[in-house]
Chains A and B, each alone.
Chain A
Amino acid sequence: MKVTICIGSACHLKGSREIIAQLQNLVKERHLEKQVDLNGSFCSGNCVNGVCVTIDEKLYSLKPEDTKEFFETEILGRL
Protein backbone atom coordinates (compact mmCIF):
# COMPACT_ATOMS: atom_id res chain seq x y z
CA MET A 1 0.00 0.00 0.00
CA LYS A 2 1.39 3.38 -0.97
CA VAL A 3 0.69 6.23 1.44
CA THR A 4 1.76 9.69 0.31
CA ILE A 5 1.94 12.71 2.59
CA CYS A 6 2.18 16.22 1.16
CA ILE A 7 5.04 18.27 2.58
CA GLY A 8 4.38 21.42 0.51
CA SER A 9 4.35 24.83 2.18
CA ALA A 10 0.73 24.91 3.32
CA CYS A 11 0.63 21.27 4.47
CA HIS A 12 3.95 21.74 6.26
CA LEU A 13 2.43 24.58 8.27
CA LYS A 14 -0.56 22.40 9.10
CA GLY A 15 1.63 19.68 10.56
CA SER A 16 2.90 17.25 7.89
CA ARG A 17 6.01 16.66 9.93
CA GLU A 18 4.08 15.50 12.97
CA ILE A 19 1.83 13.26 10.90
CA ILE A 20 4.83 11.69 9.16
CA ALA A 21 6.58 11.06 12.46
CA GLN A 22 3.45 9.44 13.94
CA LEU A 23 2.85 7.27 10.89
CA GLN A 24 6.50 6.20 10.78
CA ASN A 25 6.28 5.17 14.44
CA LEU A 26 2.98 3.33 14.04
CA VAL A 27 4.25 1.44 11.00
CA LYS A 28 7.42 0.50 12.86
CA GLU A 29 5.60 -0.56 16.02
CA ARG A 30 3.50 -3.03 14.07
CA HIS A 31 6.31 -4.14 11.75
CA LEU A 32 4.38 -3.14 8.65
CA GLU A 33 7.35 -1.66 6.78
CA LYS A 34 6.95 -4.22 3.99
CA GLN A 35 3.25 -3.58 3.52
CA VAL A 36 3.00 0.19 4.04
CA ASP A 37 5.18 2.35 1.84
CA LEU A 38 5.35 5.93 3.19
CA ASN A 39 6.21 8.63 0.64
CA GLY A 40 6.43 12.38 0.43
CA SER A 41 4.93 14.57 -2.25
CA PHE A 42 4.92 18.25 -3.06
CA CYS A 43 1.63 20.11 -3.33
CA SER A 44 -1.25 17.81 -4.15
CA GLY A 45 -3.39 20.78 -5.09
CA ASN A 46 -5.79 20.73 -2.17
CA CYS A 47 -4.17 23.23 0.15
CA VAL A 48 -7.37 24.63 1.65
CA ASN A 49 -8.16 21.81 4.08
CA GLY A 50 -5.90 19.75 6.34
CA VAL A 51 -2.72 17.98 5.36
CA CYS A 52 -3.16 16.06 2.11
CA VAL A 53 -2.59 12.33 2.49
CA THR A 54 -3.33 9.89 -0.28
CA ILE A 55 -3.69 6.12 -0.06
CA ASP A 56 -3.44 4.51 -3.46
CA GLU A 57 -4.68 7.67 -5.20
CA LYS A 58 -7.56 8.31 -2.77
CA LEU A 59 -7.21 11.72 -1.15
CA TYR A 60 -7.71 12.33 2.59
CA SER A 61 -7.40 15.53 4.55
CA LEU A 62 -5.75 15.05 7.91
CA LYS A 63 -5.05 16.88 11.16
CA PRO A 64 -2.11 15.70 13.30
CA GLU A 65 -4.45 14.73 16.18
CA ASP A 66 -6.45 12.44 13.88
CA THR A 67 -3.42 10.49 12.69
CA LYS A 68 -3.83 7.48 14.97
CA GLU A 69 -7.48 7.02 14.12
CA PHE A 70 -6.67 7.43 10.42
CA PHE A 71 -3.97 4.79 10.71
CA GLU A 72 -6.29 2.35 12.43
CA THR A 73 -9.31 2.76 10.19
CA GLU A 74 -7.90 3.65 6.78
CA ILE A 75 -4.52 1.94 6.77
CA LEU A 76 -5.01 -1.09 9.02
CA GLY A 77 -8.56 -1.44 7.77
CA ARG A 78 -7.33 -1.93 4.22
CA LEU A 79 -4.54 -4.36 4.87
Chain B
Amino acid sequence: MGVTVDVAYKSLNKFTEVLCGDKVELLQTEDSNIMILADGMGSGVKANILATLTSKILGTMFLNGATLEECVETIVETLPVCQVRQVAYSTFSILQVFNNGDAYLVEFDNPGCIFVRNGELVPIPQNIREIQNKKINEYRFKVKKGDALILMSDGTIHAGVGQLLNFGWLWDDIADYAVRQYRVTISAARLAAAISRACDELYQFRPGDDTTVAVMRIIDRKPVHLMTGPAQDAKDDRGMVDDFMSGDYTTKRIVCGGTSANIVSRILEKPLKVTLDYYDPDIPPIAYIDSIELVTEGVLTLNRVLKLLKRYVKNEAVTEEFFLELDKPNGASMVAKMIIEDCTELQLYVGRAINSAYQNPGLPFDLGIRQNLVEQLKHTVEEMGKKVSITYF
Protein backbone atom coordinates (compact mmCIF):
# COMPACT_ATOMS: atom_id res chain seq x y z
CA MET B 1 0.00 0.00 0.00
CA GLY B 2 1.30 3.43 -0.90
CA VAL B 3 1.55 6.13 1.74
CA THR B 4 1.27 9.84 1.18
CA VAL B 5 2.32 12.67 3.42
CA ASP B 6 0.84 15.96 4.52
CA VAL B 7 3.67 18.39 5.23
CA ALA B 8 3.70 21.88 6.69
CA TYR B 9 5.99 24.07 8.72
CA LYS B 10 5.96 27.33 10.59
CA SER B 11 8.90 29.57 11.50
CA LEU B 12 9.12 32.43 13.95
CA ASN B 13 11.95 34.88 13.43
CA LYS B 14 14.06 35.94 16.35
CA PHE B 15 12.54 39.17 17.62
CA THR B 16 13.56 42.18 15.45
CA GLU B 17 15.19 39.97 12.79
CA VAL B 18 13.86 40.25 9.25
CA LEU B 19 15.32 36.95 8.06
CA CYS B 20 14.92 33.57 9.67
CA GLY B 21 18.03 31.54 10.52
CA ASP B 22 16.11 28.30 10.14
CA LYS B 23 15.29 26.85 6.76
CA VAL B 24 12.91 24.09 5.74
CA GLU B 25 13.12 22.33 2.38
CA LEU B 26 10.26 20.16 1.15
CA LEU B 27 11.15 17.87 -1.76
CA GLN B 28 9.73 15.01 -3.71
CA THR B 29 11.41 12.20 -5.58
CA GLU B 30 9.65 9.64 -7.74
CA ASP B 31 9.09 7.39 -4.75
CA SER B 32 9.59 9.52 -1.63
CA ASN B 33 8.97 12.77 0.19
CA ILE B 34 11.79 14.58 1.93
CA MET B 35 11.61 17.21 4.66
CA ILE B 36 14.81 18.95 5.73
CA LEU B 37 15.17 21.43 8.57
CA ALA B 38 18.45 23.32 8.96
CA ASP B 39 19.27 25.80 11.72
CA GLY B 40 22.18 28.10 10.93
CA MET B 41 24.43 29.34 13.71
CA GLY B 42 23.60 32.78 15.05
CA SER B 43 20.71 34.76 13.64
CA GLY B 44 19.83 37.13 10.84
CA VAL B 45 21.56 37.13 7.47
CA LYS B 46 24.47 34.91 8.44
CA ALA B 47 22.30 32.22 9.95
CA ASN B 48 19.91 32.44 7.04
CA ILE B 49 22.71 31.86 4.53
CA LEU B 50 24.14 28.94 6.52
CA ALA B 51 20.75 27.29 6.89
CA THR B 52 19.78 27.89 3.27
CA LEU B 53 23.08 26.47 1.97
CA THR B 54 22.80 23.45 4.26
CA SER B 55 19.22 22.60 3.39
CA LYS B 56 19.76 23.18 -0.34
CA ILE B 57 22.93 21.08 -0.47
CA LEU B 58 21.32 18.25 1.46
CA GLY B 59 18.22 18.41 -0.69
CA THR B 60 20.01 18.52 -4.01
CA MET B 61 22.44 15.75 -3.10
CA PHE B 62 19.74 13.54 -1.62
CA LEU B 63 17.64 13.97 -4.72
CA ASN B 64 20.56 12.78 -6.78
CA GLY B 65 21.15 9.74 -4.63
CA ALA B 66 24.28 10.81 -2.74
CA THR B 67 25.14 8.98 0.48
CA LEU B 68 24.88 10.65 3.87
CA GLU B 69 28.69 10.69 4.15
CA GLU B 70 29.02 12.57 0.89
CA CYS B 71 26.36 15.07 1.92
CA VAL B 72 27.93 15.84 5.29
CA GLU B 73 31.38 16.10 3.76
CA THR B 74 30.14 18.59 1.19
CA ILE B 75 28.44 20.70 3.83
CA VAL B 76 31.52 20.80 6.03
CA GLU B 77 33.68 21.85 3.10
CA THR B 78 31.25 24.37 1.66
CA LEU B 79 29.86 26.36 4.56
CA PRO B 80 31.61 29.69 5.09
CA VAL B 81 33.51 29.90 8.37
CA CYS B 82 32.09 32.32 10.91
CA GLN B 83 34.54 35.18 11.60
CA VAL B 84 33.57 35.37 15.25
CA ARG B 85 33.42 31.72 16.17
CA GLN B 86 35.87 30.30 13.60
CA VAL B 87 33.53 27.43 12.72
CA ALA B 88 31.15 26.65 9.95
CA TYR B 89 28.03 25.33 11.54
CA SER B 90 24.45 24.53 10.89
CA THR B 91 22.44 21.79 12.54
CA PHE B 92 20.04 19.75 10.46
CA SER B 93 17.39 17.05 10.46
CA ILE B 94 16.35 15.05 7.42
CA LEU B 95 13.23 12.96 7.18
CA GLN B 96 12.60 10.86 4.10
CA VAL B 97 9.43 8.82 3.75
CA PHE B 98 9.09 6.41 0.85
CA ASN B 99 5.81 5.51 -0.78
CA ASN B 100 6.20 1.90 0.41
CA GLY B 101 6.23 3.09 4.03
CA ASP B 102 9.99 2.94 4.63
CA ALA B 103 11.28 5.95 6.52
CA TYR B 104 14.76 7.32 7.14
CA LEU B 105 15.57 9.92 9.76
CA VAL B 106 18.91 11.69 10.10
CA GLU B 107 19.54 14.11 12.93
CA PHE B 108 22.46 16.34 13.70
CA ASP B 109 22.27 18.51 16.81
CA ASN B 110 18.64 19.60 16.45
CA PRO B 111 16.18 18.72 19.22
CA GLY B 112 15.05 15.13 18.61
CA CYS B 113 12.22 14.36 16.24
CA ILE B 114 8.86 13.88 17.98
CA PHE B 115 7.22 10.72 16.70
CA VAL B 116 3.51 10.20 17.46
CA ARG B 117 1.68 6.98 16.64
CA ASN B 118 -1.86 6.04 17.69
CA GLY B 119 -1.91 9.08 19.94
CA GLU B 120 1.21 7.95 21.84
CA LEU B 121 4.78 9.17 21.83
CA VAL B 122 7.20 6.69 20.24
CA PRO B 123 10.83 6.93 21.42
CA ILE B 124 13.46 7.20 18.69
CA PRO B 125 16.45 4.95 19.46
CA GLN B 126 20.01 6.22 19.55
CA ASN B 127 22.12 4.97 16.70
CA ILE B 128 24.99 7.39 16.47
CA ARG B 129 27.47 7.42 13.64
CA GLU B 130 30.44 9.74 13.42
CA ILE B 131 30.99 11.44 10.11
CA GLN B 132 33.59 14.20 9.77
CA ASN B 133 33.75 14.43 13.58
CA LYS B 134 30.05 15.06 13.72
CA LYS B 135 27.84 12.77 15.76
CA ILE B 136 24.85 11.96 13.61
CA ASN B 137 21.85 9.92 14.65
CA GLU B 138 20.29 7.66 12.04
CA TYR B 139 17.04 5.77 12.31
CA ARG B 140 15.36 3.52 9.76
CA PHE B 141 11.79 2.53 10.43
CA LYS B 142 8.36 1.96 8.92
CA VAL B 143 5.60 4.53 9.03
CA LYS B 144 1.90 3.77 9.27
CA LYS B 145 -1.12 5.80 8.32
CA GLY B 146 -1.89 8.32 11.05
CA ASP B 147 1.72 8.76 12.23
CA ALA B 148 2.98 12.28 12.83
CA LEU B 149 6.66 13.26 12.80
CA ILE B 150 7.77 16.65 14.04
CA LEU B 151 11.16 18.25 13.38
CA MET B 152 12.16 21.33 15.36
CA SER B 153 14.90 23.90 15.67
CA ASP B 154 16.21 24.60 19.18
CA GLY B 155 14.19 27.81 19.37
CA THR B 156 11.34 25.57 20.53
CA ILE B 157 13.09 24.10 23.55
CA HIS B 158 14.50 27.52 24.45
CA ALA B 159 11.06 29.10 24.46
CA GLY B 160 10.53 31.14 27.61
CA VAL B 161 13.99 30.44 29.01
CA GLY B 162 14.86 32.74 31.90
CA GLN B 163 11.50 34.48 31.51
CA LEU B 164 8.38 32.38 31.94
CA LEU B 165 10.30 29.13 32.34
CA ASN B 166 13.59 28.53 34.13
CA PHE B 167 15.05 26.15 31.60
CA GLY B 168 12.91 26.77 28.57
CA TRP B 169 10.23 24.47 27.26
CA LEU B 170 11.61 21.00 27.93
CA TRP B 171 11.55 18.47 25.10
CA ASP B 172 9.35 16.11 27.12
CA ASP B 173 6.83 18.86 27.70
CA ILE B 174 6.78 19.86 24.04
CA ALA B 175 6.29 16.22 23.10
CA ASP B 176 3.45 15.96 25.59
CA TYR B 177 1.84 19.08 24.12
CA ALA B 178 2.37 17.76 20.59
CA VAL B 179 0.61 14.50 21.47
CA ARG B 180 -2.37 16.42 22.83
CA GLN B 181 -2.49 18.68 19.76
CA TYR B 182 -2.12 15.63 17.51
CA ARG B 183 -5.44 14.37 18.84
CA VAL B 184 -7.31 17.62 18.17
CA THR B 185 -5.82 18.66 14.83
CA ILE B 186 -6.25 16.95 11.51
CA SER B 187 -3.73 18.60 9.22
CA ALA B 188 0.03 19.12 9.44
CA ALA B 189 -0.57 22.84 9.03
CA ARG B 190 -2.68 23.12 12.17
CA LEU B 191 -0.35 20.94 14.24
CA ALA B 192 2.68 23.04 13.22
CA ALA B 193 0.76 26.25 13.90
CA ALA B 194 -0.39 25.07 17.34
CA ILE B 195 3.12 24.17 18.54
CA SER B 196 4.68 27.29 17.12
CA ARG B 197 1.93 29.42 18.66
CA ALA B 198 2.69 27.90 22.07
CA CYS B 199 6.39 28.77 21.61
CA ASP B 200 5.48 32.31 20.64
CA GLU B 201 3.36 32.68 23.75
CA LEU B 202 6.14 31.34 25.98
CA TYR B 203 8.45 33.90 24.39
CA GLN B 204 5.75 36.49 25.12
CA PHE B 205 5.68 37.16 21.37
CA ARG B 206 9.33 38.23 21.34
CA PRO B 207 11.17 35.07 20.31
CA GLY B 208 14.72 34.98 21.66
CA ASP B 209 15.77 32.64 18.87
CA ASP B 210 14.58 31.56 15.43
CA THR B 211 11.94 28.91 16.09
CA THR B 212 10.73 26.39 13.54
CA VAL B 213 8.32 23.49 13.71
CA ALA B 214 8.02 21.20 10.67
CA VAL B 215 5.37 18.50 10.64
CA MET B 216 4.84 15.47 8.46
CA ARG B 217 1.70 13.42 8.86
CA ILE B 218 1.23 10.10 7.12
CA ILE B 219 -2.14 10.07 5.43
CA ASP B 220 -4.10 8.50 2.63
CA ARG B 221 -3.80 9.96 -0.84
CA LYS B 222 -6.17 12.87 -1.23
CA PRO B 223 -6.49 13.86 -4.86
CA VAL B 224 -8.36 17.06 -5.67
CA HIS B 225 -9.62 17.88 -9.16
CA LEU B 226 -10.29 21.54 -9.89
CA MET B 227 -12.01 22.65 -13.06
CA THR B 228 -12.10 26.27 -14.13
CA GLY B 229 -13.13 27.97 -17.36
CA PRO B 230 -14.97 26.67 -20.39
CA ALA B 231 -13.01 24.82 -23.10
CA GLN B 232 -11.79 26.93 -26.01
CA ASP B 233 -13.83 24.76 -28.36
CA ALA B 234 -17.27 23.94 -27.00
CA LYS B 235 -16.97 20.51 -28.65
CA ASP B 236 -14.42 19.64 -25.94
CA ASP B 237 -16.82 20.35 -23.07
CA ARG B 238 -17.78 16.72 -22.66
CA GLY B 239 -14.20 15.45 -22.78
CA MET B 240 -13.17 18.05 -20.24
CA VAL B 241 -15.96 17.11 -17.84
CA ASP B 242 -15.23 13.39 -18.31
CA ASP B 243 -11.58 13.94 -17.38
CA PHE B 244 -12.58 16.14 -14.47
CA MET B 245 -14.95 13.43 -13.19
CA SER B 246 -12.29 10.69 -13.46
CA GLY B 247 -10.70 9.27 -10.31
CA ASP B 248 -12.09 7.13 -7.52
CA TYR B 249 -14.10 7.61 -4.37
CA THR B 250 -11.19 9.43 -2.69
CA THR B 251 -11.18 12.18 -5.32
CA LYS B 252 -12.68 15.51 -4.32
CA ARG B 253 -13.89 17.88 -7.02
CA ILE B 254 -14.11 21.65 -7.18
CA VAL B 255 -15.63 23.75 -9.98
CA CYS B 256 -14.53 27.40 -10.00
CA GLY B 257 -16.51 29.35 -12.56
CA GLY B 258 -20.11 30.16 -13.39
CA THR B 259 -20.03 29.02 -16.99
CA SER B 260 -17.98 25.94 -16.04
CA ALA B 261 -20.58 25.06 -13.41
CA ASN B 262 -23.34 25.37 -16.01
CA ILE B 263 -21.40 23.07 -18.35
CA VAL B 264 -20.80 20.45 -15.64
CA SER B 265 -24.45 20.60 -14.64
CA ARG B 266 -25.57 20.18 -18.25
CA ILE B 267 -23.26 17.28 -19.06
CA LEU B 268 -23.83 15.40 -15.81
CA GLU B 269 -27.55 16.14 -16.12
CA LYS B 270 -27.63 17.26 -12.53
CA PRO B 271 -29.20 20.57 -11.49
CA LEU B 272 -27.07 23.53 -10.42
CA LYS B 273 -28.39 25.25 -7.35
CA VAL B 274 -26.97 28.72 -6.72
CA THR B 275 -27.30 30.23 -3.25
CA LEU B 276 -27.75 33.91 -2.45
CA ASP B 277 -25.82 33.92 0.81
CA TYR B 278 -23.01 36.47 0.85
CA TYR B 279 -20.58 35.69 3.65
CA ASP B 280 -18.07 38.08 2.17
CA PRO B 281 -19.02 41.13 0.09
CA ASP B 282 -16.19 40.50 -2.39
CA ILE B 283 -16.78 36.81 -3.00
CA PRO B 284 -19.92 35.68 -4.87
CA PRO B 285 -22.01 33.00 -3.14
CA ILE B 286 -21.33 29.32 -3.71
CA ALA B 287 -23.53 26.83 -5.54
CA TYR B 288 -24.27 23.13 -5.38
CA ILE B 289 -24.17 20.29 -7.89
CA ASP B 290 -24.81 16.80 -6.61
CA SER B 291 -21.54 14.74 -6.48
CA ILE B 292 -19.30 17.83 -6.71
CA GLU B 293 -17.77 18.85 -3.35
CA LEU B 294 -17.57 22.55 -4.05
CA VAL B 295 -18.93 24.90 -6.72
CA THR B 296 -17.89 28.56 -6.75
CA GLU B 297 -17.63 31.58 -9.02
CA GLY B 298 -14.37 31.69 -11.00
CA VAL B 299 -11.82 34.45 -11.26
CA LEU B 300 -12.73 36.61 -8.25
CA THR B 301 -12.80 33.56 -6.00
CA LEU B 302 -9.56 32.12 -7.40
CA ASN B 303 -7.85 35.47 -6.95
CA ARG B 304 -8.70 35.37 -3.24
CA VAL B 305 -7.74 31.67 -3.01
CA LEU B 306 -4.34 32.54 -4.42
CA LYS B 307 -3.91 35.35 -1.89
CA LEU B 308 -4.70 32.98 0.97
CA LEU B 309 -2.37 30.26 -0.33
CA LYS B 310 0.45 32.75 -0.86
CA ARG B 311 0.02 34.03 2.65
CA TYR B 312 0.21 30.46 3.86
CA VAL B 313 3.30 29.57 1.79
CA LYS B 314 5.15 32.73 2.76
CA ASN B 315 4.61 31.57 6.29
CA GLU B 316 3.75 35.08 7.35
CA ALA B 317 0.91 35.48 9.75
CA VAL B 318 -0.12 31.82 9.62
CA THR B 319 -1.68 32.16 13.02
CA GLU B 320 -4.96 31.25 14.63
CA GLU B 321 -6.45 34.19 12.74
CA PHE B 322 -5.37 32.68 9.44
CA PHE B 323 -7.17 29.46 10.27
CA LEU B 324 -10.25 31.40 11.38
CA GLU B 325 -10.20 33.04 7.95
CA LEU B 326 -9.83 29.59 6.38
CA ASP B 327 -12.85 28.29 8.31
CA LYS B 328 -15.16 31.00 6.92
CA PRO B 329 -18.00 29.76 4.73
CA ASN B 330 -17.20 31.90 1.66
CA GLY B 331 -16.20 30.15 -1.57
CA ALA B 332 -12.56 31.29 -1.54
CA SER B 333 -11.85 30.20 2.03
CA MET B 334 -13.50 26.86 1.30
CA VAL B 335 -11.35 26.24 -1.79
CA ALA B 336 -8.15 27.33 0.00
CA LYS B 337 -8.96 25.16 3.00
CA MET B 338 -9.50 22.12 0.82
CA ILE B 339 -6.20 22.68 -0.99
CA ILE B 340 -4.23 23.31 2.21
CA GLU B 341 -5.75 20.68 4.45
CA ASP B 342 -7.48 18.08 2.37
CA CYS B 343 -5.30 17.60 -0.69
CA THR B 344 -2.09 15.76 -1.47
CA GLU B 345 -2.18 16.19 -5.23
CA LEU B 346 -3.98 18.79 -7.28
CA GLN B 347 -5.09 18.22 -10.85
CA LEU B 348 -6.24 21.37 -12.65
CA TYR B 349 -8.57 21.22 -15.67
CA VAL B 350 -8.40 24.62 -17.26
CA GLY B 351 -10.49 25.94 -20.15
CA ARG B 352 -8.94 28.51 -22.44
CA ALA B 353 -12.13 30.10 -23.76
CA ILE B 354 -12.19 33.89 -23.57
CA ASN B 355 -15.36 35.63 -22.50
CA SER B 356 -15.53 38.71 -24.71
CA ALA B 357 -17.58 40.56 -22.10
CA TYR B 358 -14.58 40.36 -19.75
CA GLN B 359 -12.59 42.54 -22.12
CA ASN B 360 -14.78 45.42 -20.96
CA PRO B 361 -12.51 48.19 -19.62
CA GLY B 362 -15.47 49.52 -17.60
CA LEU B 363 -15.15 46.64 -15.12
CA PRO B 364 -13.20 47.44 -11.95
CA PHE B 365 -11.27 44.16 -12.11
CA ASP B 366 -9.54 42.41 -14.99
CA LEU B 367 -11.48 39.19 -15.31
CA GLY B 368 -9.36 37.92 -18.21
CA ILE B 369 -6.58 36.66 -15.99
CA ARG B 370 -7.63 33.07 -15.46
CA GLN B 371 -4.57 31.44 -17.02
CA ASN B 372 -2.23 33.69 -15.12
CA LEU B 373 -4.02 32.84 -11.85
CA VAL B 374 -3.84 29.15 -12.65
CA GLU B 375 -0.08 29.26 -13.29
CA GLN B 376 0.48 31.10 -10.03
CA LEU B 377 -1.76 28.64 -8.25
CA LYS B 378 0.35 25.76 -9.57
CA HIS B 379 3.63 27.28 -8.31
CA THR B 380 2.18 28.15 -4.94
CA VAL B 381 0.69 24.71 -4.31
CA GLU B 382 3.95 23.08 -5.42
CA GLU B 383 5.78 25.14 -2.83
CA MET B 384 3.47 23.56 -0.28
CA GLY B 385 5.06 20.22 -1.17
CA LYS B 386 2.11 18.89 -3.19
CA LYS B 387 2.02 17.50 -6.70
CA VAL B 388 0.24 19.71 -9.24
CA SER B 389 -0.57 19.11 -12.89
CA ILE B 390 -2.53 21.18 -15.38
CA THR B 391 -4.50 20.03 -18.41
CA TYR B 392 -5.66 22.76 -20.78
CA PHE B 393 -8.69 22.47 -23.00
Chain A residues with a Cβ under 8 A of chain B? 5-10, 12-14, 16-17, 20, 24, 38-43, 47-48
- Residues on B lying within 8 angstroms of A by beta carbon are 257-259, 261-262, 272, 274-276, 278, 281, 284-285, 287, 297-300, 355-358, 360, 363-365, 367
Q: Are A10 and B276 in contact (CB under 8 A)?
A: no
B276 and A7 contact, CB distance less than 8 A: yes
Tally A-B pairs: CB < 8 A.
73
Q: Which of A13, A16, A24 has the most CB of B within 10 A?
A: A13
The reply to whether B364 and A40 contact each other, CB–CB distance below 8 Å, is no
B355 pairs with A41, CB closer than 8 A: no
CB pair A13–B278 under 8 Å, yes or no, is: no
Which listed residue, B284, B299, B363, touches A7 by the CB 8 Å rule? B284
B287 and A42 within 8 A (CB):
yes
A43 and B278 in contact, given A9-B297, A13-B363, A13-B365 (Cβ under 8 angstroms): no
B358 A7 Cβ-Cβ under 8 A: no
In Å, the complex CA distance between A9 and B297 comes to 6
21 A-B pairs within 8 Å (CB atoms) are namely A5-B276, A7-B276, A8-B258, A8-B298, A9-B257, A9-B258, A9-B299, A9-B300, A9-B358, A10-B360, A10-B367, A14-B363, A16-B284, A39-B274, A40-B276, A40-B287, A41-B274, A47-B358, A47-B360, A48-B357, A48-B360
Smallest CB gap from B255: residue in A = A42
CB-CB under 8 A for A42 and B274, given A16-B284, A47-B355:
yes
Q: Are B276 and A12 in contact (CB under 8 A)?
A: no
**A7 to chain B: which residues have CB within 8 Å?**
258, 274, 276, 284-285, 297
Within the complex, the shortest CB–CB distance from B60 to chain A, in Å, comes to 42
- Write out the residue numbers on chain A whose beta carbons fall within 8 Å of the beta carbon of B364: 13
Q: Interface residues of B: mostly helix, strand, loop or mixed? A: loop
In the complex, the answer to whether A43 meets B259 with C-beta atoms within 8 Å is: yes
Complex CA gap A16/B360 in Å reads 17
Instruction: Tell me which of B259, B278, B360, B365 contacts A8 (CB under 8 A).
Output: B259
Query: For the complex, what is the distance from the CA of A40 to the CA of B51, rounded to whole Å?
Result: 52
Taking the closest CB of chain A, its distance from the CB of B369, in whole angstroms, is: 11
Instruction: Give the chain A neighbours of B357 by CB distance below 8 A.
Output: 10, 47-48
Contact yes or no, B259 A12, CB < 8 A: no
Assembly CA distance A8 to B261 (angstroms) = 10
Write the nearest CB–CB distance from A62 to chain B, whole angstroms.
15
One of B258, B276, B365 near A20 (C-beta < 8 A): B276
Q: Distance (Å) between the CB of B96 and the closest chain A CB? A: 43
Q: Which residue of B272, B300, B356 contacts A12 across the interface (Cβ within 8 Å)?
A: B300
Least CB distance, B272 to chain A, in whole angstroms = 7
Contact status A42-B261, CB under 8 Å: yes
**Smallest Cβ-Cβ distance to B265: which chain A residue:** A42
Q: Which 8 pairs, one residue from A and one from B, show the smallest C-beta to C-beta distance? A: A42-B258, A47-B357, A40-B274, A8-B258, A43-B258, A7-B284, A12-B284, A48-B357
